[in-house]
Structure 1
Amino acid sequence: MSEHFICYFCRVSNFYPDKWWYKYQHSIQRKLADYSIYTDFASNDYLGFSKTGVVDKIFRKHLNELYISGSTGSRLISGNRQWIEEIERKIAHYHHSENALIFPSAYQANVGLFSCIADRNDLYLIDENIHASVYDGIRLSFARYYKFKHNDWDDLKKQIEKHYRSFENIFVVVESLYSMDGDSPDIKEIMALIDNKKVFLIVDEAHAFGITGENNLGLFNEKTYASACAARIIGYGKAAGFSGACIIGSDVLKNYLINFSRAFIFSTALPFYHYQIIEKLYDIIVYHSFEQLSRLKRNIHFYLQSTSSEKYFSKNNSPIQYYLLKTHNYQDIQNTIIQNNIYAKVILPPTVQKGKERIRISLHAFNTIEEIKHLINMLKTFSNE
């Protein structure tokens, strides 16, 4: 098929409702682009497993033992193997839990979980800064939800007391490392509010996996904390440098999801090699990631030390930082960042609240001190505008 014919075909087949065009024209008009040539302060590849070829080396080293084929169906039809379930039990063991269920992405895991575990007799109490995927899952359920102030345990306690007698179950939902704010909940404070009789805790560990907690497998990856969680969501697309996710919990939870999570039931399973790569990534994170973690901590320390007296810089002890914006020339700011051969993303509502527009900064093990200095000096110029 010639290029001319393809273009002609595309041109004559572009039928769409007018409101698609209108809504796009009145939006912030996100566009896809390739920023891979710039210095990376945007990706979630905190340990550099993707950038520095760790994942690629796993493929090459174990190529002869990987099942390079598609699953051809959902896990309930043709996409399951006994050894996949063994990998899931092994993952659960790493996380001090009974079982795990792997999903194609953390977004799909959250939608699949929150859409089915609660009904109109139950309540979700969610941190106001929780990830969009949690909202999307809850909206597909029949359950009510209320937000509590970010990391405000007094507010959460008041809401639990207010609603305790009105619902059969209350699910408190937090992230262990917030993707836009870069901070974490106080574990002891939240544990004091969870009774596991009527009030249950669900933790999204997507951004904490690989960089914090016992064996670097998440903030709540300690036996006492893990056993107090009704479910934890682990993401493999951040520090692990790959993709996919799993939900960790009891055998009952896994069986429940297999039977009632529509996002799991009706999705084609991952290619078989994907499960094998996830298994091998655990081995690297637990036993062979000391060097990457050391470099990451060095970079975080340098960044915080260099910006300690600066007004608009975040002060998080994590790879996720941000620079608050006080101007409204957001596109100009994004262009300036790119012109400085840096890629860090300007984040606008609805991803963050209005008035909290920011440049989100991801620090990585592979960033050099000189690159971080260049980033900081560039950001300081925005303070003077």
Structure 2
Amino acid sequence: MLKKFQAALDKRKEAGILRTLKPKLNGIDFYSNDYLGLAGNEELQLQLLLKVQENPQLLSGSSGSRLISGNTNTATETENYIAEQHQYPAALLFSSGYNANLALFSTLPDRHDTIIVDEQIHRSVHDACRMSHAKKLKFRHNDLEDLENILRKQTGPCYIAIESLYSMDGDLAPIQEIAALSKKYNAALIVDEAHAFGVFGYGLIEKYKLQNDVFAAVMTYGKALGAHGAAILCDETIKSYLVNFASPFIYTTAAQDFLWMAIQTSYEFLKQKPELSERLQKNIETFSNQNIKTPPSELSPIQAVLMPDNQQLRSLQKTLSDNNFLTYAVYSPTVKAGTERLRICLHSFNTEEDIVALTRIIKGFI
């Protein structure tokens, strides 16, 4: 059995796509999801430190799942706060966005239902669909006509799964139009706002006031919020159903209260610092003005430079690294073969000089 596993690893190594864990690098960050710089913000860190000093019990382990010994007033208060901020009836906390998606799509749809997913939806949704007994169908990325053609053929209950901002191409979903289609065909729309939350205020659902049209939403806090964990936004019935039937919730030890406190504190900090999002948008505009062809929206912090020549892509990333720029090269099977790319993440803390210097090197390879 070990030989089989080693053969698969050797095959990836020969193709130059073997994944390995590396120490965190020092350099100019153009690869992390820390869009607003909150993960290392000293002012926010001081606020968190003061709260821990006032209440050291926040650092205690939860001691069990939330259904046994792990539920606390802090967790409940944080959920109520999140629900109120997003104008949803209820919120349910998870240790990660991955677990939140596992819970939603492995629990709500049953064998008589259909889950229609954007072909570029996050891997966690695909994994959850495998845990579900429902039928899964894909529609072409952001293609409203293809989505409607599929919806038109369905006879039973349907769920539609999209991201509001996609992590690989960095483009935005036509969320208003998809919400309209879900309403037209009586489908339940579920939106993952992992990369949009914080970048566009509280996300595109809040931006376009779609709370009544989106059946459930996932907010992830390990990106623009600089924290960890996630919340599912939904109504009270769905929350109770997940608490009763979602294995990823029921059988997971609850996080310590420090995590829940950090999420609520970071929300408050985000409201006090609108200039962070403004700086990010200015940096996105600076990048767009460099005239590098990328597929995403001009409003997106994620920019993808397509480069299907793997050797050229490796060479570009090494040149950038040698110049102290940290970027991320994405190879198949993470993306489809022929769509390999250099993934660039822009942040509020990047400087105009660094953005121009980065793009100057990239232009030498395309």
TM over 0.5: yes
248, 273, 287: which one aligns with 1:263: 248
- The question of 1:280 aligning with 2:253 is answered no
**Aligned position for 1:319:** 301
CA displacement 1:16-67 (0-9 Å, x = unmatched): 7211211111122111112430111000000000133354223223221351
**Other structure's SS at 1:180 match:** coil
For the residues of structure 2 that align with 1:314 and 1:290, how far apart are their CA atoms? 24
Residues 198, 292 of structure 1: CA spacing in aligned structure 2 closer, same or farther, 3 A cutoff?
A: same
Q: Compute the TM-score of the two structures, normalised by the length of structure 2.
A: 0.94
38, 42, 61: which one aligns with 1:53: 42
AA in 1 matched with 2:133: F
CA contact (8 A) 1:314 1:323 kept: no
Residues 34-49 of structure 1: pairs in structure 2 closer than 5 A: 34-49=23-38
* 1:267 Cα offset (Å): 0.6
Structure 1 runs not aligned, ≥5 long: 1-15
237, 259, 264: which one aligns with 2:222: 237
CA contact (8 A) 2:115 2:136 kept: yes
**Aligned position for 1:300:** 284
For the residues of structure 2 that align with 1:376 and 1:241, how far apart are their CA atoms? 26
AA in 1 matched with 2:322: Q
**Other structure's SS at 2:107 match:** coil
**Aligned position for 2:101:** 110
**Aligned position for 1:134:** 125
Q: Compute the TM-score of the two structures, normalised by the length of structure 1.
A: 0.89
AA in 1 matched with 2:55: E
Residues 217, 315 of structure 1: CA spacing in aligned structure 2 closer, same or farther, 3 A cutoff?
A: closer
356, 361, 368: which one aligns with 2:339: 356
* 1:71 Cα offset (Å): 0.4
For the residues of structure 2 that align with 1:243 and 1:180, how far apart are their CA atoms? 20
Residues 207, 315 of structure 1: CA spacing in aligned structure 2 closer, same or farther, 3 A cutoff?
A: closer
* 1:313 Cα offset (Å): 6.9
For the residues of structure 2 that align with 1:355 and 1:53, how far apart are their CA atoms? 41
Residues 316, 224 of structure 1: CA spacing in aligned structure 2 closer, same or farther, 3 A cutoff?
A: closer
CA contact (8 A) 1:49 1:239 kept: yes
177, 180, 185: which one aligns with 2:168: 180
- The question of 1:23 aligning with 2:8 is answered yes
**Aligned position for 1:32:** 21
The count of corresponding residues between Structure 1 and Structure 2 is 359
CA displacement 1:328-359 (0-9 Å, x = unmatched): 20433332221121111001122222211100
For the residues of structure 1 that align with 2:6 and 2:238, how far apart are their CA atoms? 43
CA contact (8 A) 1:102 1:246 kept: yes
* 1:112 Cα offset (Å): 1.5
**Aligned position for 1:221:** 206
Which shifted more, 78-87 or 372-381?
78-87
Larger radius of gyration: 1
Structure 2 runs not aligned, ≥5 long: none
CA contact (8 A) 1:58 1:277 kept: no
- The question of 1:65 aligning with 2:50 is answered no
CA contact (8 A) 1:176 1:208 kept: yes
CA contact (8 A) 2:176 2:208 kept: no
